Amino acid sequence: MLTDRRPILLANARVIDPSRDFDGPGDVLIADGVIRDAKRGIGAAGVPEGTDIVNCAGKIVAPGLIDMRAFVGEPGASHRETFASASHAAGGGITTIICQPDTSPVIDNSATVDFVLRRARDTAIVNIHPMAALTKGMQGQEMTEIGLLKAAGAVAFTDGDRSVTNAQVMRRALTYARDFDALIVHHTEDPHLVGEGVMNEGEFATRLGLAGIPTAAESIMLERDMRLAGLTGGRYHAASLTSTESLEILKRARDAGHNVSASVSINHVTLNENDIGPYRTFLKLAPPLRTEEDRRALVAALASGLIDVVMSDHNPQDVEVKRLPFAEAASGAVGLQTMLPAALRLIHNGEMDFKTLIRAMSTRPAELLGLPGGTLRAGAPADVIVIDADTPWVLDRDDLKSLCKNTPFDDARFSGRVTRTIVGGRTVYEHV
């Protein structure tokens, strides 16, 4: 970690700041841990003495990314990931990680929230904030003390990759959370419809001889949640949508004025079920990869603003649970280090513009979670990234900083990467 706290001028850049609807040439001045100015023509003459002047010609300067869904193993599963290892993996573009509560013990009380915040502060090089459990022990039966947990520092409430199947519990949670302006984040998969399924239900699953998971497992749960959000007026966020059917349900709820939002994982907008190929377990995910038609619909929904957020769905799994037959392998993939490079594929394919992408990966998550980042406005925390959008490179799994190497992008060819990550005014990552 580099700890130089000198003022920094990122000069001659293409500055992208969705919070100000700005995309154009400019400079960004950072001092004392905050952004002093971000505009065209600051120049070396207008900066404090001793400023580190970085020529960003041909590069993009944008707010640091905020990843809304990542598993970190502390407490209880530090063999899978620690705050330190996750933060180093995130250094290539992500300045804030939102960690999930499905740890051991579960993050369902103020003491565990405090532990996470303290441990992250002492060991991580990026910002880390916890989501707390929505129900006690993530058992789906009794909601947690949402008010106390939010006061302790929880930024939202979720049962991780478990769905709350009891509609009455979800209704009460949405009603209670509404009074604290708390965000409920829900994994929309009916476990009974998922059953023994391991990938998307359809022709490809049949040819592979694998049990399928229908899109109805997602859409039925989402439809229920949309009705409960309308009934209660609570703030609701769908954790990871994957299908065209779900997008139609989300649009109807939005059109009805419900306070609902949604994320999509970087995997579901850049990969499809065919990428599983010869039973590649690193592409076994929950929810599963869907069809190419679904992928294109998700990208279109992201471009239109129907889907609010792109997240990594970082879920490290060690060799013992991944190097197994596909049906027996654990679900999940690492994603912190590849979230931005994979997202740049959408830019290069002409499926997305930069401002829309940065909004979904930075500005919008900050708005939903009430965090001060996601912007280059003067006075905001200096969480900033510099992107070289065109440099070609190939991912070597040995270069992954995560403790686990279960990436779906093994040996993938990328174009573009982050060259500098600044968190709180400090350069924490630099690629030369």
Catalytic residue positions, numbered: 313
Residue type at position 173? A
Do the Cβ atoms of 204 and 212 come closer than 8 Å? no
Which residues, listed in sequence order, are joined to residue 67 by a DSSP beta bridge?
97
CA dist., res. 237 & res. 368, Å (int): 9
CA dist., res. 341 & res. 142, Å (int): 40
Pure H helices in 266-338? 266-270, 292-304, 319-322
Do the Cβ atoms of 259 and 235 come closer than 8 Å? yes
The per-residue DSSP string of 356-425 comes to HHHIIIIIHHHHHHT-S-S---TTSB--EEEEEEEEEEE--GGG--SS----TTTT-EEEEEEEEEEETT
> How many other CB atoms sit within 10 Å of the CB of residue 142?
13
Closest alpha carbon to 240 in 263, 272, 224, 216: 263
